[in-house]
Structure 1
């Protein structure tokens, strides 16, 4: 199927909105996808397509994904590439969690990987600017010790000039590969227990305290958070961070990992599928929708 490069920015933006985590989640919740199909056909240029047209919805999405890979690499493309070509090739999901949109201080990390190590990934696509990068990196090092910038190879020189030498760099190559340009150095200098605790849910930071000192403080609800933080701030920060990562790993969803390992979900939807943690009904709805016949 030949892809014509005659898409304007507005078309590509609309197409990107339909090849996204939010759009794919909807594919798992309803069997009625007529509106989605109509919009997808409109912005992919269905009526002007030469040769054989995609037979099923899954084929149409794959075609759209390929268009975006070549012309409009938005954040979802990068996140899916990170999961498929970096995480799944180097780590075992049974012992690894990849967190999406993880808040640390005033910043939100695009992705955080935790297993025996911990890595933050800040994505800068060709559609992004370096604005706020410095403050983002400063926040990430308060909770994690390895930080990577993930960007397109055409932007490599631009970012190398402004990045601290201890920040690692992954590049998205012209061939669609993910390569490590330089490894991140382990940096524990800026770790801060208050930033770690603030990124956790109440049951998680309660467990963090109990695992480290054997008890949780007796305090009224309004003072409970402060009481937990005071305990953590008295402990060696590296010890806190080690247990913090252990707590995050407890978010691993083994059922999702099992579905992903079965290979029934196309690779272009892997990141969304992994983050959504589908139950059996959602999983089957997604598979059924992707097989919808477009040519009847």
Structure 2
């Protein structure tokens, strides 16, 4: 199987956590045998480091971009104690790649060198129905086409350079003209919009289940649109994926797999299992 396909399969939360828990992974074995020689003389931690180095030069896939954003922006500029990252958030028939909430919501739509740009403008327009700051994160090879074809001057443009740094080609500016109650409301989970309504109106509607969602939405629409957005951002920010009691353990996680662990809701036992996996030599039972 193509090495790129194998790397895409391995660097997912489910696949990696199965590997850490002790399940045999043919994908991992194939990658190790392809990229590391001899494969049984190093630890899993060393293997991950070598695999990630290969990705940084030869296969900067979506995981690599998301992991870079998490390490350099969420952890580098902000803090997991004050900010929250979300990934793959459904909105208006699209899947938002990466979102960081730190007082405001910053959208990061990823277009790697492996992607095409056909849907990009439509995706950005969809995101502006709920968020005011949007960025494209891309490779230098796409930059000229993006600058020419995306006539949205408020969109930020960030280039992942060949040195794997993030270069801000153009800073995102706030754009609120497209904000839409329905788009914002649909992002919220039931307990989240109930909290907002209870907070702002002091009660929840007493209607049957068939009418409940629509009546709640009508109440939500009575808020100022910018307040509605802020209430949504506050709720999204509460969707923390790292338990505060485990921050010290999370800080020890190697940068190569930081994003995988951040989005995995690790417990104390999970961190112990991860550490055991990383120090184990490849091939050891």
Q: Same fold by TM-score, threshold 0.5 exceeded?
A: yes
Alpha-carbon distance, 1:23 to partner: 2.4
8 Å contact kept, 1:19–1:61: no
Tell me the residue number matched to 1:64: 51
Aligned to 2:159, the other structure's residue is in SS state: strand
Pair 119,65 (structure 1): closer, same or farther in 2 beyond 3 Å: same
8 Å contact kept, 1:144–1:191: yes
Aligned to 1:112, the other structure's residue is in SS state: strand
What is the alpha-carbon distance in structure 2 between the residues aligned to residue 34 and residue 137 of structure 1?
37
What is the alpha-carbon distance in structure 2 between the residues aligned to residue 104 and residue 116 of structure 1?
20
**TM-score w.r.t. structure 1 length?**
0.88
Tell me the residue number matched to 1:207: 195
Tell me the residue number matched to 1:172: 160
Aligned to 1:276, the other structure's residue is in SS state: coil
What is the alpha-carbon distance in structure 1 between the residues aligned to residue 279 and residue 244 of structure 2?
20
Where do residues 1-296 of structure 1 align in structure 2 (5 Å cutoff)?
A: 10-28=2-20, 30-33=21-24, 35=26, 37-44=28-35, 46=37, 55-163=42-150, 164-255=152-243, 258-259=246-247, 263-294=251-282
8 Å contact kept, 1:260–1:274: no
What is the alpha-carbon distance in structure 1 between the residues aligned to residue 171 and residue 264 of structure 2?
30
Number of aligned residue pairs: give it: 283
Pair 168,195 (structure 1): closer, same or farther in 2 beyond 3 Å: same
Please list every run of at least 4 consecutive aligned residues from structure 1 whose deviation after the TM superposition is greater than 6 angstroms: none
**TM-score w.r.t. structure 2 length?**
0.92
Alpha-carbon distance, 1:259 to partner: 3.4
**1:15-59 Cα distance to aligned partner (Å, 9 max, x none):** 33223333222234x234464552232332535x8xxx7610111
What is the alpha-carbon distance in structure 1 between the residues aligned to residue 230 and residue 243 of structure 2?
26
Alpha-carbon distance, 1:171 to partner: 1.0
Alpha-carbon distance, 1:261 to partner: 6.2
Higher RCO structure (Cα 8 Å, ≥6 apart): 1
Pair 96,54 (structure 1): closer, same or farther in 2 beyond 3 Å: farther
What is the alpha-carbon distance in structure 2 between the residues aligned to residue 119 and residue 265 of structure 1?
25
Instruction: Could you tell me which runs of 5 or more consecutive residues in structure 1 were left unpaired when the two chains were aligned.
Output: 1-8
What is the alpha-carbon distance in structure 2 between the residues aligned to residue 177 and residue 127 of structure 1?
18
Aligned to 2:207, the other structure's residue is in SS state: coil
Tell me the residue number matched to 1:4: none
